[in-house]
Amino acid sequence: MNETKDTTGTDGGGMIEMNHVGKWYGEFQVLSNCSTSVNKGDVVVICGPSGSGKSTLIKVINGLEPFQEGTITFNGVSVGDRTTNLSKLRSQIGMVFQNFELFPHISIIENIKLAQMKVLGREDDEARNRSMELLERVGLSDQRDKFPAQLSGGQQQRVAIARGLAMDPIAMLFDEPTSALDPEMINEVLDVMTELANDGMTMMVVSHEMGFAKRVADRVIFMDEGYIVEDCSKDDFFGTPRGDRAQLFLSKILTH
Partner 1 sequence: MAKMRGALRVGLSVAVLLGLTGCAGDFRYNWNWSILACTSENIDAGCIGPYFFWILEGLSWTIAVASAAWVIAFPLGSVFGILRTFDKPILVVVPFVKSPIYFRTRAIGTSKGIIWVNVAWFLHGFANVYVTIFRNVPLLVQLFLWYFVFPELLSDEAGMWVKREMPLPEFWTAVVCLGLYSASRVAEQVRAGINSISRGQQYAAMAIGLTPVQVYRYVLLPVAFRIIIPPLTSDFLGVFKNSSLALTIGVLELTAMTRQIEEYSYQGFEAFTAATVLYIGVTAIVMVAMRVVEGRVRIPGMISLEAK
Ligand X SMILES: Nc1ncnc2c1ncn2[C@@H]1O[C@H](COP(=O)(O)OP(=O)(O)OP(=O)(O)O)[C@@H](O)[C@H]1O
Residues engaged in binding Mg ion (CB under 5 A): 55
Q: Which of 115, 170, 232, 253 binds partner 1 (CB under 8 A)?
A: 115
Q: Are 111 and 131 in contact (CB under 8 A)?
A: no
Choose the contact partner of 1 out of Mg ion, ligand X, partner 1, none; CB within 5 to 8 A by kind.
partner 1
Binding mask 68-107 for partner 1 (x = CB under 8 A): --------------x----xx-xxxxxx-x-x-xxxxxx-
Binding mask 43-72 for partner 1 (x = CB under 8 A): ----------------x--x-x--------
Half-sphere exposure of 99 (CA within 13 A, CB side): 5
- CB 88: neighbour CB atoms within 10 A? 14
The verdict on 15 binding partner 1 (CB under 8 A) reads no
Nearest distance from residue 65's CB to ligand X, in Å?
8
Which is nearest to 37 in space by CA: 54, 20, 50? Answer: 20
Closer CB to ligand X, 131 or 207, in the complex:
207
The verdict on 1 binding partner 1 (CB under 8 A) reads yes
Choose the contact partner of 164 out of partner 1, ligand X, Mg ion, none; CB within 5 to 8 A by kind.
partner 1
Would you tell me which residues interact with ligand X (CB under 6 A)?
Answer: 25, 28, 30, 48, 50-56
Which is nearest to 242 in space by CA: 255, 252, 254, 230? Answer: 230
Choose the contact partner of 50 out of ligand X, Mg ion, partner 1, none; CB within 5 to 8 A by kind.
ligand X
Nearest distance from residue 81's CB to partner 1, in Å?
10
For partner 1, which stretch binds (CB under 8 A), given 35-43, 142-150, 212-220, 226-234? Answer: 142-150
Distance, CA of 151 to CA of 130 (rounded, Å):
21
Distance, CA of 246 to CA of 256 (rounded, Å):
16
The verdict on 240 binding partner 1 (CB under 8 A) reads no
Q: What b/e readout covers 102-137, taking b as 16+ CB neighbours within 10 angstroms?
A: beeeebbbbbbbbbbeeeeebeeeebbebbbebbeb
The verdict on 248 binding partner 1 (CB under 8 A) reads no
Distance, CA of 26 to CA of 24 (rounded, Å):
6
DSSP 220: E
